[in-house]
Structure 1
């Protein structure tokens, strides 16, 4: 599909206006015309996105196709942590109460705040953004997404459950929270009755301790699993899963940040990625150094989506790469030979895997 038509009265990218405010937008300011005009989406995963200056929006402005929100069920917002913010709570003009029907966003329990929920930071803004994007496009039968330059590219919102109990009890909470997006037709889903996978502007991914059996327990699947390299189930496939991820050190062991991986370690990465792609899923690692040398090694070895914390630098680098047609340089080779590379046993930095 061609890019969405631009509003000729103002070609300035709408999301950049929002970013310029430096604050999380109010509900009446979730969207601006020409929302992502001129932004090329890239295969970047915004790791621990709640730590970005403006959650969701900073990642969208960088072009990230995957955004990770760390979540706990409400019971983790304990009374002890509530007391640490008691003063601000009682001096606030708006008294916030923890909702039992939402997920709290935070990488650690000490970060939890009743004002920072999955709904307030991600789901509510995305519903308004998609509603306005489709209105601007004339409300087409096939829904458009957040990307003006690639309207039918799905955004992956990954919910990282940070505890086993959150990953169990939080699945039903998430399904309830998704109802407005589901009703509007904005979600990718698998219909078991017709055995069809229907793509939507948003694809929800359950990662971390998300309970796979619960995810698959619904007649129609609206939450897709992020599987693990070290615990991949034969029942995981493109109809119930999207990614296969893992801590890179768990796959390759100890590594040198300065010298890079060895020949043996690159072989492990390549073999894992090849197996994942053959299953129709997306390989990803976390825990690798945030450096261009490591990014190059990973992309050329078959990693399709890079996990990044520094979105500006990661995004700039990725726009020099081609990964499944998203972005614009290096790509993996399935037929790479060890003889193509010198000095693998000493670490690969300073050498190019793919000529």
Structure 2
């Protein structure tokens, strides 16, 4: 039995009192006792607390428990919020840090162009006077500069990174009296000064003229040409033209735009007489709405090749005589859960790449993730290990990209 007492000496007017009795489980009951019968078991100067005092004390303890519980919940909530903020900051750093710490670029004249470039006309005006170290120490790699025209400095940033493939989306110029093809991702982004000639054709002609000391033969019979990379003069640069307007409408204009390169013998071509590819400094590949039927209509000579669909690469109509790339969106492999390929996805990549290689074509997966860097480089690593022919690249910031891409050494092209 437990008795709660007080030293306040209240006046007792009743001959009985109620005492609390503790029972198993930690709760209490009360019983009534006569003061006369309690004898000396209680000090009458310290009488029992009234029941209402005990009840109030119990309520006080319950209130404290409620506040303690609320405090614990509040602390857990604060910790959760702080943890979420910390995780968000970590992911932000993971995605943006590589942009602010780009890899060291080799010292070369092309960096001068990148640093001074202000607009499309600079793509060829900045090349004079010619710098003898234009692409010095730049190692050509099997990487494709996806949507290259979006870069702050089209063409030259890709060359400075060592990429042997650049991409331009082309449109018919609907203005009367204009023969120039426009470059841009959508109709709204088109500008009169961003033409295929100014951004790609003219600068490539200028570079190749300097690289070959203006000695290229106009009949196109000589194969002793230097490409754009001084460290590997036999490397071929891929110019991927993504047809955005109607393919049949664009086709004659594209052929006209390429005539300056064709007349100098700088375009890689296929000849029916030898049934072989004659490698030159530039290979042109058509994709998007490009008309495959028009491309193969010339059965004796071709210098524009097709970007075959990798998902249909088993089709016998695609071969080395008419195609060069074999491409497909990464999304066709399905969702990549937890930033890791499934075994079925890995097998699909292996099969597609093997079929493309068997035909002499370069497998390429576009729409690969650009960020976060750790996920992007995991994708690159898997594709390299599976023998993909061309690595699709949207950003050049990660220092891990360069040692990764150098593993493409055996895939470099030469003639």
Do they superpose with TM above 0.5? yes
Look up the match of 1:227: 308
Q: Does 1:324 align with 2:410?
A: yes
Is the contact made by 2:184 and 2:190 (CA closer than 8 Å) also made in structure 1? Answer: yes
Secondary structure of 1:125's partner?
Answer: helix
Secondary structure of 1:322's partner?
Answer: helix
Look up the match of 2:287: 207
Deviations 1:93-119 (A, max 9, x none): xxxx67642321011111111111111
Structure-2 change in CA distance of 1:98 and 1:156 (3 Å): farther
Q: Does 1:305 align with 2:390?
A: yes
Deviations 1:282-304 (A, max 9, x none): 10101221211111111112212
Q: Does 1:179 align with 2:259?
A: yes
Secondary structure of 1:190's partner?
Answer: strand
Deviations 1:90-147 (A, max 9, x none): xxxxxxx676423210111111111111111000110111011000899886111101
More helix by share: 2
Distance 1:325 1:174 in 2: 28
Look up the match of 1:149: 231
| Aligned with residue 259 of structure 1, among 339, 344, 357 | 339
Deviations 1:12-67 (A, max 9, x none): 51111111214242533235322100100111100000011111111011100110
| Aligned with residue 240 of structure 2, among 158, 171, 186 | 158
Distance 1:160 1:213 in 2: 16
What runs of 5+ residues in structure 2 fail to find an aligned partner? 1-105, 371-375
Is the contact made by 1:188 and 1:201 (CA closer than 8 Å) also made in structure 2? Answer: yes
Distance 2:178 2:214 in 1: 35
Structure-2 change in CA distance of 1:138 and 1:231 (3 Å): closer
Secondary structure of 2:339's partner?
Answer: coil
Secondary structure of 1:275's partner?
Answer: helix
Is the contact made by 1:292 and 1:317 (CA closer than 8 Å) also made in structure 2? Answer: no
Q: Does 1:135 align with 2:221?
A: no
Give the CA deviation at 1:191: 1.9
Structure-2 change in CA distance of 1:223 and 1:326 (3 Å): closer
Q: Does 1:67 align with 2:162?
A: no
User: TM-score if structure 1 supplies the norm length?
Assistant: 0.76
| Aligned with residue 281 of structure 1, among 351, 361, 372 | 361
Ranked by relative contact order (alpha carbons within 8 Å, sequence separation 6 or more), the top structure is 1
| Aligned with residue 191 of structure 1, among 257, 271, 275 | 271
Which deviates the most, 240-249 or 27-36?
A: 27-36
Give the CA deviation at 1:320: 4.8
Distance 1:60 1:69 in 2: 14
Look up the match of 2:191: 113
Distance 2:211 2:397 in 1: 24
Look up the match of 2:11: none
Which deviates the most, 191-200 or 298-307?
A: 191-200
The structure whose Rg is larger is: 2
Structure-2 change in CA distance of 1:264 and 1:179 (3 Å): same
Is the contact made by 2:384 and 2:408 (CA closer than 8 Å) also made in structure 1? Answer: no
Give the CA deviation at 1:215: 1.2
What runs of 5+ residues in structure 1 fail to find an aligned partner? 1-10, 76-96, 328-355
How many residues are paired up?
292
| Aligned with residue 15 of structure 1, among 110, 113, 118 | 110
Structure-2 change in CA distance of 1:14 and 1:211 (3 Å): same
Look up the match of 1:87: none
Distance 1:98 1:154 in 2: 36
Distance 1:322 1:222 in 2: 25
Give the CA deviation at 1:247: 0.6
